[in-house]
Amino acid sequence: MPAADPSKIRNVAVIGHRGTGKTSLTEAILFSSGAINRQGTVEQGTTVADHEDDEKKRQMSISASLCHLSWRERNINLLDTPGDPSFHADTIAALRVVEGAIVAVNAAVGVEVQHERLWKQCEDNGVSRLIFVNMMDRERADFTAAVEQLQESFGQGAVAAQVPIGAEDKFEGLVDLLSMKAYRYDGGKATVGEIPADMADMVEEYREKLMDAVSENDDAVMEKYLEGEEISNEELFSALKAGVASGSVFPIGAGCATRLVGVDLLLDLVVDAIPSPMKHGAVKARDAAGEEIELECRADGLLAAMIFKTLADPFSGRINVMRVFSGELSSDSNVYNPATKTKEHIGKLLRLQGKDNSNVDILGPGDIGAVAKLKATNTGDSLCGESNPITFPPMQFPNPVMSFAVEPKSKGDEEKIGTSLKRLQEEDPTLVVKRDPQTNELIVSGISQVHVEVVVERMKQRFGVEVELKPPRVPYLETIRRKAQAQGKYKKQTGGRGQYGDAWLEIEPLPSGEGFEFVDKVVGGVIPRGFIPAVEKGVIEAMKEGELAGSPLVDMRVTVYDGSHHPVDSSEMAFKIAASMGLKKAVSAAGPVILEPIMTVQVTVPEENVGDVIGDMNSRRGKVLGMEPKGKMNQVNAEVPLAEMLSYAPDLRSMTGGRGDYTMEFLRYEEVPAHLAQKIVDQMQAQKEDK
């Protein structure tokens, strides 16, 4: 079977805030087009898109799901994306590979914070947008208010292409402002008729606004419009398509996905207004020399496909989902991955329908599909010809801000934990896993607590590994305030050869960040030269665990200046133990203190929440450095101890109604206030006793 004609492909992502009915809309589109023979529901967990167990349990999309359908002889690749910001990475990736997006809006709620973020992503990626005001049958559904909010947030280009007939429990259909026909629905089937007489004035008002917005994209239409001449539907559609493609017009449709109202009109808009990959224009990439090139959507062009999602299947292994931008990709062919410098063999190409798939022989330019069992290919990588390596600009994903320590529920599962987390990292680029070198804890970091909890659930469901999440230990350090001296003497006699080591040490603080310095000032051979390295080793080992909280000691100079030895009983081991004993005594006398990590924090929030955020920062022992505007938001800059930020993500979400965001990076270490230091010491002591 030949590749699909790129002029007849539409690649579309369904995006929106959580709770706008994106998955129900995807299901309705698939059913209305005949791609599936029954309409599942989110509540029953029977939808094509939300097929993971955790998605059914939480009744929300966690991963982007690829589906396909046909409408009016067009092949539509549809990506249902998560609306929760915890899983925003999949939405970011989806918007890199589509020409159009359907922005779902709850008719009873209107524009929400995630809409604003996703709109910006669409703008950055040159994605054309249609808007679907969903749930028109809900209580308090208000189409007029939703349109006003959309225009306030996104400009006058957001313009109604349809208006509803009735609302709430009286919602029965739509007037299409393009064809000027009324569509009344019964059981998902539309009856086309004349516009109700009592709606004539409202329809005329909305039609004028649509003509205003659309005519600006076509000079001939604009001239006719200004002169009051009749504009044909063909001319109107042509001007509308130009406006949608240029990102100046965003047609607003309406309906109810669960009742299949307005879904057919939405699909018509997708076909008529969203540009095909061929019409969308060239895509920017880089060649082997790092020079920018433009890839035309041509079958005879250089092969260039981008992996935008990876699925970790416990049975099939990795499945890489890709968009072909140029050239043709065939099954049973060989390709090259420039990122890993690896040759890959394409076995079977797949067409995904949620969790199900079917084989295809070829993916042409503009098409989206998948391939299983590639050796070393991950999200963001490209596949191309070895003689013409091509790479794409990297995807910018949000940084993880919520961390937990992971411990196995069953002994011996440590290796299985590592394997399962590695597999999950392959499909989730925002998941970070690392071993803390100081605390030796396995730390899992994600976008939110929900994000990390979902990771834990998937470890259990897919790989049979159960773990417990614990707040990670803050990586405290310890240092000293003043000079001190102490003797470390180790003497052991058990019959036969004994053990003897004797070393005098002087310790003194170094400036912050200087680390550790060892000085040998022994004279006269009181400690033989061969044992000095053993003294240094003993000091270094003892510095791994301080006297107060058991944290590593830093920023100090240790000088060995005297001691004694025994000609028979002295050994490296004896001097190592003696040095360790001497250091501990000296530290106790040198005014030890605990150091805590200080983070630089940037919090982006709406203006009305700035006061709450600053007050909260002060309560966390933070130092607010200033504030700067960021578009419609404000950024609060602060320095805050890490210990006070471990639960910040849910607290910020609560403070700002989910509209706040923050980033955090390590800055420096500072001394913990005395009253808090004692609490840390007591806590560490209690943990030791529990063990």
The torsion angle over the Cα atoms of residues 458, 462, 465 and 467, rounded to 10 degrees, is: 0
Considering the segment(s) 477-590 as one domain, its CATH architecture is 2-Layer Sandwich (3.30)
Considering the segment(s) 283-384 as one domain, its CATH architecture is Beta Barrel (2.40)
Has this prediction a pTM greater than 0.85? no
CATH topology for the 6-280 domain? Rossmann fold (3.40.50)
Angle between helix 219-226 and helix 200-215 axes, rounded to 10 deg: 140
Partner residues linked to 244 by β-bridges: none
The closest alpha carbon to 374, from 307, 419, 422, belongs to: 307
Residue 358: predicted pLDDT: 93
In angstroms, what CA-CA distances link 155 with 13, 369, 604, 605?
21, 35, 23, 22
State the Cα–Cα distance between residues 118 and 307, nearest whole angstrom. 21
State the Cα–Cα distance between residues 672 and 678, nearest whole angstrom. 10
- Under 8 Å between Cβ of 527 and 484: no
The closest alpha carbon to 316, from 223, 157, 423, 461, belongs to: 423
State the Cα–Cα distance between residues 332 and 548, nearest whole angstrom. 63
229, burial (CB in 10 Å: exposed 0-12, middle 13-18, buried 19+)? exposed
Q: Which amino acid is at 501?
A: G
Q: Which amino acid is at 301?
A: G
Angle between helix 572-589 and helix 532-542 axes, rounded to 10 deg: 50
Beta-carbon contacts of 630 under 8 Å, excluding residues fewer than 6 positions away, are 604
| Sign of the torsion angle spanned by Cα atoms 297, 214, 70, 103 | positive
Bridge-based pairing of strands 592-606 and 633-641 is antiparallel
Bridge-based pairing of strands 623-630 and 592-606 is unpaired
The dihedrals phi and psi of 465, each to the nearest 5 degrees, come to -110, 125
Residue 219: predicted pLDDT: 80
Helix (H, G, I), strand (E, B) or coil at 687: helix
State the Cα–Cα distance between residues 474 and 455, nearest whole angstrom. 22
E strand or H helix that includes residue 683: helix 674-690
The dihedrals phi and psi of 379, each to the nearest 5 degrees, come to -55, 135
State the Cα–Cα distance between residues 234 and 498, nearest whole angstrom. 102
State the Cα–Cα distance between residues 23 and 594, nearest whole angstrom. 51
- Under 8 Å between Cβ of 11 and 100: yes
State the Cα–Cα distance between residues 114 and 20, nearest whole angstrom. 11
Bridge-based pairing of strands 74-80 and 9-15 is parallel
The closest alpha carbon to 479, from 541, 546, 539, belongs to: 546
Output Rg (C-alpha) for the chain, integer angstroms. 32
Residue with tokens 């914070």: 113
CA 182 to chain centre: 42
Partner residues linked to 78 by β-bridges: 12, 67
Instruction: Dig out the tokens for 353 from the structure.
Output: 């329908």
Give the other-Cβ count within 10 Å of 528's Cβ.
13
On the question of a common fold for 402-470 and 595-676, the answer reads yes
Top-tier CATH class for 595-676: alpha beta
The closest alpha carbon to 195, from 212, 214, 179, 211, belongs to: 179
In angstroms, what CA-CA distances link 272 with 100, 154, 580?
12, 22, 78
The closest alpha carbon to 327, from 387, 393, 252, belongs to: 387
- Under 8 Å between Cβ of 450 and 502: no
Question: What residue ranges do the domains of the chain occupy?
Answer: 6-280, 283-384, 402-470, 477-590, 595-676
- Under 8 Å between Cβ of 163 and 206: yes
Q: Which amino acid is at 419?
A: T
State the Cα–Cα distance between residues 58 and 18, nearest whole angstrom. 12
Residue 389: predicted pLDDT: 96
State the Cα–Cα distance between residues 320 and 311, nearest whole angstrom. 6
- For the chain, list residues with pLDDT below 50: none
Q: Which CATH number fits domain 402-470: 3.30.70.870, 1.10.3720.10, 3.40.50.1000, 3.30.70.1170?
A: 3.30.70.870
State the Cα–Cα distance between residues 47 and 42, nearest whole angstrom. 6
Give the other-Cβ count within 10 Å of 625's Cβ.
13
Helix (H, G, I), strand (E, B) or coil at 472: coil
Beta-carbon contacts of 535 under 8 Å, excluding residues fewer than 6 positions away, are 503, 527, 560, 575, 576, 578, 579
The closest alpha carbon to 111, from 629, 662, 659, 661, belongs to: 659
State the Cα–Cα distance between residues 510 and 330, nearest whole angstrom. 64
The dihedrals phi and psi of 266, each to the nearest 5 degrees, come to -65, -45
Read off the pLDDT of residues 337-382 as tens digits, 9 standing for 90 and up. 999 999 999 999 999 999 899 999 999 999 999 999 999 999 999 9
SS (H, E, C) 375-393: CCCCCCCEEEECCECCECC
| Sign of the torsion angle spanned by Cα atoms 79, 85, 87, 90 | positive
Give the other-Cβ count within 10 Å of 346's Cβ.
19
Helix (H, G, I), strand (E, B) or coil at 195: coil
State the Cα–Cα distance between residues 674 and 171, nearest whole angstrom. 66
State the Cα–Cα distance between residues 53 and 59, nearest whole angstrom. 10
